[in-house]
Amino acid sequence: MEKLLEGKIALITGAGRGIGRGIAIAYAKQGATVLINYNGSKERAEAVCEEIRANGGTAESFGFNVADYAASEKAVKDILEKYGRVDILVNNAGITKDNLILKMSEQDFDDVININLKGAFNLIKHLSRNFLKLRHGKIINISSVSGVMGNPGQANYAASKAGIIGLTKSIARELGSRNVCVNAIAPGFVETDMTNALPEAVLERGKESTVLGRLGRVEDIADAAVFLGSGMADYITGQVLCVDGGMAI
The stretch among 64-72, 80-88, 129-137, 174-182 that binds ligand NAP (CB under 6 A) is 64-72
Rule CB under 6 A: is residue 189 a binding residue for ligand NAP? Answer: yes
Interface residue with ligand NAP, options 190, 222, 228, 248 (CB under 6 A): 190
* Residues with a known catalytic role: 157
Give how far Cα 12 sits from Cα of 90, 140, 173, Å.
5, 9, 22
* Residues belonging to the chain: 249
Rule CB under 6 A: is residue 38 a binding residue for ligand NAP? Answer: yes
Q: How far is the CB of 9 from ligand NAP (least distance, A)?
A: 19
Q: Cβ-count burial of 81 within 10 angstroms (0-12 exposed, 13-18 middle, 19+ buried)?
A: exposed
Planar angle of CA 133, 38, 97, nearest 5 degrees: 110
Which of the residues 69 through 128 are near ligand NAP (CB under 6 A)?
Answer: 92-95, 115
Rule CB under 6 A: is residue 203 a binding residue for ligand NAP? Answer: no
Rule CB under 6 A: is residue 67 a binding residue for ligand NAP? Answer: yes
Rule CB under 6 A: is residue 154 a binding residue for ligand NAP? Answer: no
* Residue 91 · residue 141 · CB < 8 Å: yes
How many residues line the site for ligand NAP (CB under 6 A)? 29
Question: Which of residues 25 and 234 has its CB atom nearest to ligand NAP in the complex?
Answer: 25
What order of strands is seen across the sheet that includes strand 9-12?
58-63, 33-38, 9-12, 88-91, 137-142, 180-187, 240-243
Sign of the C-alpha dihedral, residues 40, 63, 144, 247? Answer: negative
Give the interface with ligand NAP as residue ranges (CB under 6 A): 13-14, 16-20, 37-41, 65-67, 92-95, 115, 142, 144, 187, 189-190, 192-195
